[in-house]
Amino acid sequence: MMRGKKGQIPILMLFLVAIILVITALFSFFGFSGDFGDNSALVSRTIAGAEFGQDYVASSAKLIVGETIMAQGDKREFMRIANGKDLGIQEAGNFFGKIRDGDFVFESTGGDVRPEIRQYVQSYKLEIKGLFSRSSYGNNEIKRNYDLCMIFRSDGSYLGDC
């Protein structure tokens, strides 16, 4: 009389486990907000901040070198002008700190003869190693490491990277 009842307990347990799994899955679905937009926006802002920092450093360097060359200045004059341009922007990283510490090269590189004007043109070189730009929004942070090396004409205009 009890021969057909051996499989009923495992089938009943399987059914209960299936119901528990379904209920757990439903709680997971309803508990998930599905809003990736906020996280994506924070990551995008962080990346944009790091790019801004590097662009800001390059633009500031061009401006400071141009003013230094026009003032016929040297490394000390460069440091003085840079000190007045430091706006305390976080994304600029250690750019102004390196300048305050004198940890950079600003020198006349001699020059070259420009065939189109048949004149000797002096050039200048700015080199700063070990720079970084840092950006952070929310729990996201990016630190971009790079070196800066630029060549300028004697009129202060940017010629190109080293």
DSSP string, 13-49: HHHHHHHHHHHHHHHHHHH-----HHHHHHHHHHHHH
> Looking at residue 1, what is its pLDDT?
46
Chain segment 130-144, per-residue pLDDT in tens? 999 988 887 888 899
CB 63 within 8 A of CB 84: no
In angstroms, the Cα distances linking 60 to 2, 14, 31, 34, 97 are: 90, 69, 48, 42, 14
Tens of pLDDT along 6-17? Answer: 667 778 888 888
Residue-level pLDDT at 37? 61
Beta bridge partners of 145: 132
- Span 89-148, pLDDT tens digits: 888 889 999 999 999 999 988 766 555 555 566 789 999 999 999 888 878 888 999 999
Q: 3-class SS at 159?
A: strand
Instruction: Please report the pLDDT score of residue 111 as a whole number.
Output: 65
The reply to whether the predicted model has a pTM over 0.75 is: no
Indicate if the alpha-carbon torsion angle 49, 128, 122, 155 is positive or negative. positive
